[in-house]
Chain A
Amino acid sequence: MDILGLGSKVDADFILDPQGQRKQIDVKIDDTKRSSQYIYYDGEDVSGTVQVKLKKNSKVEHQGIRLEFIGQIEMLNDRSTIHEFINLSKLLGFPGELTDSSSIDFNFGNVEKPYESYNGINIKLRYFLRLTIIKRFSNNVFERDICVQQLSQYPEINNSIKMEVGIEDCLHIEFEYNKSKYHLKDVVVGKIYFLLVRIKIKHMEIAIIKKENTGTGPNIYAENETIAKYEIMDGAPVRGESIPIRLFLAGYELTPTMKDVQRKFSVRYFLNLVLVDEEERRYFKQQEIFLWRKQDKDTDKTKQSAKQYAHYQRPTPANQSEENPTENSSVNEVLSSENNSDIPSD
């Protein structure tokens, strides 16, 4: 950040976790760059030590040393638009002259960090510390990103997703996912019932799709990204078959669902059930799932291992009152086809 290239006399370092107790995370900056960042949660102090290093036998005259804690949203397709939603500032040193390397402790107490760090396609939500050595002509600026994770409680209501879909007289299926809200290390368990099969299905897969919407009004950008593609059936089923689904989420790079963050962007996730027939036509149904971050705890070992072989159990009818009873004869929703003109006539 030393524009004139003269500031090489001074360097700065942030010591955030001298005891080495804070968790770090490997964050993808872009396609080639990754960095390790400390993880912080909402309301936590952000504290540490700033080390200002001077080259030997040099001195720096300054108008003051300032440290800021910043939370901001960057629109990547429009670099100029940066929206700060947090800016806390501290003066670490009064104007004067630095003649020696020095360490300065700091503490931002109980910092509100309302959003999760996010590094998307068109948008970036980042938290960082910025140290500025204010000088007459050009300031020395040093930044250090931290990663904020937003922990959630177990959702109070977490219904299963159950739906009957199809193409009239061609294909009727009923699918069920055990929940509508999954934590990031959760496992999606479900089943697909084939009620009517008159097309030759070749295989079936489930995809996790991330939809990132940015901007408002006329300047909306929507990005769809397939995070995972997971084959759950090989070959053509016949009527009456039920196919199990078990999809572990922990292995994929997922974030919690984010809705309308600072009116700037949303990140939503969908499970896309795709059936491919022998002519390579694809029939699909997308269903949104809500992702949330669960606090990492040493959970019960047996419970942890049991999910490895979890199977979908239909909830008892009492818990199902909110859902529509399905009728086998009619199709509640229509499966989308990749090319609508291409729907087989039977």
Chain B
Amino acid sequence: MSMQKAVDNSRSSNAGLSMDNQEKLLADALQNVRQHAFAMKRVLDQQSVMEGLKHAANMLGELRTSLLSPKNYYELHVVVVEELHHLELYLTDEFEHGRGSHDLYEVVQYAGNIVPRLYLLITIGHVYIRANELPRREVLRDLVEMCRGVQHPLRGLFLRNYLLQCVKSLLPDTEEENQEATKTGTILDSLDFILLNFSEMNKLWVRMQYQGHTRDLQRREQERRELRILVGTNLVRLSELECVNVERYKTIVLPKIMEQVVSCRDSIAQEYLMECIIQVFPDEYHLNTLNEFLKACRELSASVNIRNILISLIDRLTAYSTRDGSQQNIPENIQLFDIFSEQIAEVVKSRINMPPEDIVALQSALLNLSLKCYRDQFEYGNKVLENTRKIFDNIALDTQVQTGTPAAKELVKMLKIPIDCYDILDVLKLNHYKLVLQLLSYRERHTVCMYIINSILDKETIIPTAEQVTQLFELLLTLIIDQTDSALETSRQTITNEDFVEEQNLVARLYNNFQAPNDPDQQYHIIKICQDTFKNGGLERMRFTYPPIIMQAYALTFRYKNIREQDEKWEKKCQKLFQLCNQLINTLTKLETNDLPLRLYLQGALAASEIGSENAETIAYEFFSQVHDNEKVLACLKKATKLTTQIMDQSVQVQLYNELLNTYIYFFNQNLPDIDITLLNSLIEKLQNEMSKISSNENDEFIRNQIQKTFDYLRQQSQLEKFQGLQINN
């Protein structure tokens, strides 16, 4: 009878694969299961165990099918197991009432077909163990052994899954010294049981490896992947046993699992199982078996994505070591970094065809680990960066990684890690960081540099020494000077490009973080460094980068003045600063806009006057004369006048007219040829007109005073020959 059925199966196996047919096949099978299940429950209600078992066997016969897809077989299995549960409950109940039959374990073994027989045997075994009818240890061993009879991958996997499910609560979890141990078994029996079941299930699963037409490859592999959880459940069970400790894990569990994982030589299985091991077992276990685990990694099939496995482990241990905010979780005797570092090097060495992005990703994970677990040991992070650079140098010396490639992306990710977990001052201690950055092409370098600046600004990190500033500039060079490999970008690096403006504004803002709070001389050095660096950036950048230097320099003069008691050379230093500013502003005048240098000059003059040092006047003069010498001053003034006339707010306007007048007077006094009495007169007239328009509230009182002072001065001066013809009313 069974033979006949088998023939039918093979004949219709092709038809079984079409999807419509699948639904019908499943529906039919489910229908049969329900009928048998109904009959089973009916006879069990009449206390007829033997009849019940017969119906159960018939129902289980449906699981012998070869026609269903894995997914549909699963559906069927779920329903069958659910129905089988009725039998189990009935038998358990019988035993609880002292009516249980004692020979069922043997009786069910007469079932002619192996699949129904083993499902029944597992069910009875389960009941018998719980009822203490048979020794637990022997039954467990028997069940897991007998299941070898089902070598069909799909049927075997589901059978063993049922086994695992049934014994879940029955696995002995006690130590060996227990007196009862011989009968009930110990943890060692449980380990044998699960490890054997695991190996067998994995072998079955691996056997589903598809070898047919590539057309179906993806679908078949997907189907296979969906079954992986069945295999993985064994590992979950192992992890749930309380008597498994680090020692047992290291000496029994892991070696056995690894033996199977390595020997199965199937990349889908290896990838999944390694990931599974990492996720289901506790961190302490991994910490104590790192070498074993990593050694096994090297023995995996060449097509296994080793990168994900290793990263997964490193990330997990990194997270563990930094949990609760401390690094105490890692025992001192475990040299996490060294182990990973060596093993990863070995892995990379053993896989000649490993793509560079994978190597970088591994190094990234390692870097992450070293920075997070060994925060203060910069040599670790540095070593990783050094190795990364070396790897690329070994491929091709001094060759940039092409933009947009996976390797480039991984490198960017890697370089962001230190920025995220350190502040920049610590990053600067990683002296190989720069070398790795240099591996990148322009666009990726740009990304990283922007990331660095944004991070500094966000964290408001203060960079206190000139040396650090220098180092930082070395990193940020891409943004500071024109890059040889950015030819395409260079043309766009002007004020008209929003991105460029944003970029340079950031660079400029960065300057505010260069602060040597209690050391003006240091600040002075910083200013010098900035000047030295920014001067190579071209005029378009200077527009953004110089003003903060200049303003900072002015500010520094005030700081010197404040400490003039302690620093007798303060005046000299101030002078140097003014000279420097002068030089810088001078450069800026090359820009087509004049108001920027003008304002900076004026600001400088103001600063000089406020400082009031011995030579302040000279300096102020210098500044104004700079304007003079420049000849563009007149243009500046004209433009200023024009701008002033356009101002809407009258009081501001008047104030600016006053300033303008003062400036004109100054230059008039300086004998600037183009400025004469007529010009002054027109300005005076204008100012008088405008002043009469403004209201006389308190705010404006100050302005009036100012103007009054100007006029007073002029009246005074009008007596001089030079001011002849000045028209000013009294």
Task: Kindly identify which residue among B112, B117, B145, B148 contacts A241, using a CB–CB cutoff of 8 Å.
Answer: B148
A289–B547 Cα gap in the complex (Å)?
106
Stretch at the interface among B2-10, B305-313, B700-708: B2-10
Q: How large is the interface on A (under 10, 10 to 19, 20 to 34, 35 or more residues)?
A: 20 to 34
Assess the A251–B6 pair: CB atoms within 8 A: no
A-B contacts, CB under 8 A, total: 79
Assess the B2–A231 pair: CB atoms within 8 A: yes
Assess the A309–B141 pair: CB atoms within 8 A: yes
A317–B110 Cα gap in the complex (Å)?
32
Assess the A234–B109 pair: CB atoms within 8 A: no
A141 beta carbon closer than 8 Å to chain B:
no
Assess the A246–B109 pair: CB atoms within 8 A: yes
A232–B109 Cα gap in the complex (Å)?
11
B217 beta carbon closer than 8 Å to chain A:
no
Contact with B along A218-245 (1 / 0, CB 8 A): 0000000000011111111110011110
Assess the A234–B110 pair: CB atoms within 8 A: no
Assess the A233–B149 pair: CB atoms within 8 A: yes
Task: Kindly identify which residue among B64, B134, B150, B152 contacts A308, using a CB–CB cutoff of 8 Å.
Answer: B134
Residue from B10, B109, B141 whose CB has the most chain A CB atoms within 10 Å: B109
Q: How large is the interface on B (under 10, 10 to 19, 20 to 34, 35 or more residues)?
A: 20 to 34
Assess the B148–A242 pair: CB atoms within 8 A: yes
Q: Separation in Å of the A313 CB from the closest CB of chain B?
A: 12
Assess the A311–B142 pair: CB atoms within 8 A: yes
B151 beta carbon closer than 8 Å to chain A:
yes
Q: Separation in Å of the B12 CB from the closest CB of chain A?
A: 13
Assess the A309–B134 pair: CB atoms within 8 A: yes
A168–B10 Cα gap in the complex (Å)?
26
Assess the A235–B7 pair: CB atoms within 8 A: no
Task: Kindly identify which residue among B110, B139, B142, B153 contacts A235, using a CB–CB cutoff of 8 Å.
Answer: B153
B156 beta carbon closer than 8 Å to chain A:
yes
Q: Separation in Å of the A56 CB from the closest CB of chain B?
A: 47
Task: Kindly identify which residue among A232, A238, A311 contacts B114, using a CB–CB cutoff of 8 Å.
Answer: A232
B36 beta carbon closer than 8 Å to chain A:
no
A243–B109 Cα gap in the complex (Å)?
16
A309–B2 Cα gap in the complex (Å)?
25
A251–B110 Cα gap in the complex (Å)?
7
B117 — nearest CB in chain A belongs to which residue?
A231
Given A241-B148, A244-B149, does the pair A231, B139 have CB atoms closer than 8 Å? no
Q: Separation in Å of the B63 CB from the closest CB of chain A?
A: 10
Assess the B142–A309 pair: CB atoms within 8 A: yes
Which residues from chain A contact B10 at a C-beta distance below 8 Å?
A: 202, 278, 280
Which residues from chain B contact A236 at a C-beta distance below 8 Å?
A: 151-152
Contact with B along A192-203 (1 / 0, CB 8 A): 000000000011
Task: Kindly identify which residue among A232, A248, A306, A308 contacts B149, using a CB–CB cutoff of 8 Å.
Answer: A232
B525 beta carbon closer than 8 Å to chain A:
no
Assess the A243–B106 pair: CB atoms within 8 A: no
A305 beta carbon closer than 8 Å to chain B:
yes
A237–B142 Cα gap in the complex (Å)?
20
A237 — nearest CB in chain B belongs to which residue?
B151
Assess the B149–A243 pair: CB atoms within 8 A: yes
Q: Separation in Å of the A234 CB from the closest CB of chain B?
A: 5
Assess the A309–B150 pair: CB atoms within 8 A: no
Assess the B141–A233 pair: CB atoms within 8 A: no
Q: Separation in Å of the A90 CB from the closest CB of chain B?
A: 44
A69–B2 Cα gap in the complex (Å)?
46
Assess the A230–B207 pair: CB atoms within 8 A: no
Contact with A along B6-32 (1 / 0, CB 8 A): 110010000000000000000000000
A202 — nearest CB in chain B belongs to which residue?
B6
Assess the A244–B114 pair: CB atoms within 8 A: no
Q: Separation in Å of the B469 CB from the closest CB of chain A?
A: 68
Assess the B152–A235 pair: CB atoms within 8 A: yes
Assess the A244–B155 pair: CB atoms within 8 A: no
B229 beta carbon closer than 8 Å to chain A:
no
A241–B150 Cα gap in the complex (Å)?
11
Assess the B64–A234 pair: CB atoms within 8 A: yes
Which residues from chain B contact A229 at a C-beta distance below 8 Å?
A: 2, 112
A246–B150 Cα gap in the complex (Å)?
14
Task: Kindly identify which residue among B6, B134, B138 contacts A203, using a CB–CB cutoff of 8 Å.
Answer: B6
A278–B117 Cα gap in the complex (Å)?
22
Q: Separation in Å of the A192 CB from the closest CB of chain B?
A: 10
B198-255 residues with Cβ-Cβ distance < 8 A to A are 203, 207
A251–B112 Cα gap in the complex (Å)?
12
Which residues from chain B contact A307 at a C-beta distance below 8 Å?
A: 106
A291 beta carbon closer than 8 Å to chain B:
no
A305 — nearest CB in chain B belongs to which residue?
B134
Contact with B along A269-313 (1 / 0, CB 8 A): 000000010101000000000000000000000000111110100
Assess the A244–B145 pair: CB atoms within 8 A: yes
Which residues from chain A contact B156 at a C-beta distance below 8 Å?
A: 234-235
A262–B268 Cα gap in the complex (Å)?
67
Which residues from chain B contact A305 at a C-beta distance below 8 Å?
A: 134
Which residues from chain A contact B149 at a C-beta distance below 8 Å?
A: 232-234, 243-244
B159 — nearest CB in chain A belongs to which residue?
A234
Which residues from chain A contact B113 at a C-beta distance below 8 Å?
A: 231, 234
B146 beta carbon closer than 8 Å to chain A:
yes
Task: Kindly identify which residue among A231, A244, A246, A311 contacts B112, using a CB–CB cutoff of 8 Å.
Answer: A231
Given A308-B106, A309-B105, does the pair A235, B150 have CB atoms closer than 8 Å? yes
Assess the B134–A234 pair: CB atoms within 8 A: no
Assess the A234–B152 pair: CB atoms within 8 A: yes
Which residues from chain B contact A309 at a C-beta distance below 8 Å?
A: 105, 134, 138-139, 141-142
Assess the A243–B6 pair: CB atoms within 8 A: no
B115 beta carbon closer than 8 Å to chain A:
yes
Q: Separation in Å of the A306 CB from the closest CB of chain B?
A: 8
A229 — nearest CB in chain B belongs to which residue?
B112
A233–B109 Cα gap in the complex (Å)?
14
Assess the A238–B207 pair: CB atoms within 8 A: yes
Assess the B207–A276 pair: CB atoms within 8 A: no
A307 — nearest CB in chain B belongs to which residue?
B106
A229–B1 Cα gap in the complex (Å)?
10
A308–B148 Cα gap in the complex (Å)?
17
Task: Kindly identify which residue among B145, B151, B153, B203 contacts A233, using a CB–CB cutoff of 8 Å.
Answer: B151
A242–B203 Cα gap in the complex (Å)?
13
B13 — nearest CB in chain A belongs to which residue?
A278
Which residues from chain A contact B138 at a C-beta distance below 8 Å?
A: 306, 309
Assess the A276–B6 pair: CB atoms within 8 A: yes
B118 — nearest CB in chain A belongs to which residue?
A234
Which residues from chain B contact A232 at a C-beta distance below 8 Å?
A: 114, 149
Assess the B142–A234 pair: CB atoms within 8 A: no
Which residues from chain A contact B106 at a C-beta distance below 8 Å?
A: 248, 307-308
A308–B101 Cα gap in the complex (Å)?
14
A288-343 residues with Cβ-Cβ distance < 8 A to B are 305-309, 311
A35–B152 Cα gap in the complex (Å)?
45
Which residues from chain B contact A280 at a C-beta distance below 8 Å?
A: 6-7, 10
Given A231-B114, A280-B10, does the pair A311, B153 have CB atoms closer than 8 Å? no
A107–B500 Cα gap in the complex (Å)?
126
A308–B113 Cα gap in the complex (Å)?
18
Assess the B146–A235 pair: CB atoms within 8 A: no
Which residues from chain B contact A237 at a C-beta distance below 8 Å?
A: 151
Which residues from chain B contact A308 at a C-beta distance below 8 Å?
A: 105-106, 109, 134, 142
Contact with A along B110-147 (1 / 0, CB 8 A): 10111101000000000000000010001101100110
Sorted from nearest, which 5 A-B pairs have the closest CB atoms? A235-B152, A309-B142, A235-B151, A237-B151, A231-B114
Q: What are 26 A-B pairs at a CB distance below 8 A?
A: A202-B6, A231-B113, A231-B117, A232-B114, A233-B114, A234-B64, A234-B113, A234-B149, A234-B150, A234-B151, A234-B152, A234-B155, A235-B150, A236-B152, A238-B207, A243-B148, A243-B151, A246-B146, A248-B106, A307-B106, A308-B105, A308-B134, A308-B142, A309-B105, A309-B134, A311-B145
Query: With A229-B2, A234-B114, A241-B151 given, can you name 12 additional A-B contacts, CB distance below 8 Å?
Result: A231-B2, A231-B114, A235-B152, A236-B151, A236-B152, A237-B151, A238-B207, A244-B145, A244-B149, A280-B7, A307-B106, A311-B141
* Interface of B toward A, CB cutoff 8 Å: 2-3, 6-7, 10, 64, 105-106, 109-110, 112-115, 117, 134, 138-139, 141-142, 145-146, 148-153, 155-156, 203, 207
